[in-house]
């Protein structure tokens, strides 16, 4: 099954309250929290724009909650410094296309 269809399936399961889907989003959030901390080793930033269809709905809320928890527990100095900026649902879905369109041609 292609990745976009896998995401749609997990989102559908999440809407139905399937605990397996919630665990997937929790895992993504933990990984995202550690990734943000890793990025902070190389870049000095205060805001992180969070985009993409995976952040849509309740699953996105879980991802951000878990990421914030990782930062709070493991990297408290970053947790107090970094804020996640989350656009509305329409802008989230278009964000990746906008980012891709802005990349230079090679």
pLDDT at res. 93? 63
pLDDT bucket at 17, cuts 50 / 70 / 90:
very high
The pTM of the full predicted model, rounded to 2 decimals, is: 0.83
pLDDT at res. 88? 76
State pLDDT tens for residues 46-101.
999 888 888 888 999 999 999 999 999 999 999 999 999 888 767 666 666 766 67
State pLDDT tens for residues 63-78.
999 999 999 999 999 9
Could you tell me how far CA 42 lies from the centroid of its own chain?
19
b/e code 26-53 from CB counts within 10 Å (16+ = b): bebbbebbeebbeebeeeeeeebebbeb
| Cβ atoms of 64 and 29 closer than 8 Å | yes
- Domain extent listing, the chain: 3-101
The mean pLDDT of the chain is 90
Flag whether pLDDT at 42 surpasses 80: yes
pLDDT at res. 68? 97
């Amino acid at each position: 099954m292609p990745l976009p269809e896998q995401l749609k399936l997990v989102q559908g399961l999440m809407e139905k309250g399937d605990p397996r889907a919630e665990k997937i989003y929790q895992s993504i959030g933990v990984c995202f929290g550690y990734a943000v901390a890793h990025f902070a080793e190389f870049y000095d930033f205060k805001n992180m724009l969070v985009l993409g269809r995976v952040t849509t709905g309740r699953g996105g809320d879980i991802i951000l909650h878990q990421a914030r928890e990782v930062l709070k527990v493991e990297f408290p100095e970053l947790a107090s410094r970094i804020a996640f900026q989350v656009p509305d649902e329409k802008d989230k879905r278009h964000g990746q296309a906008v980012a891709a369109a802005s990349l230079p041609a090679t």
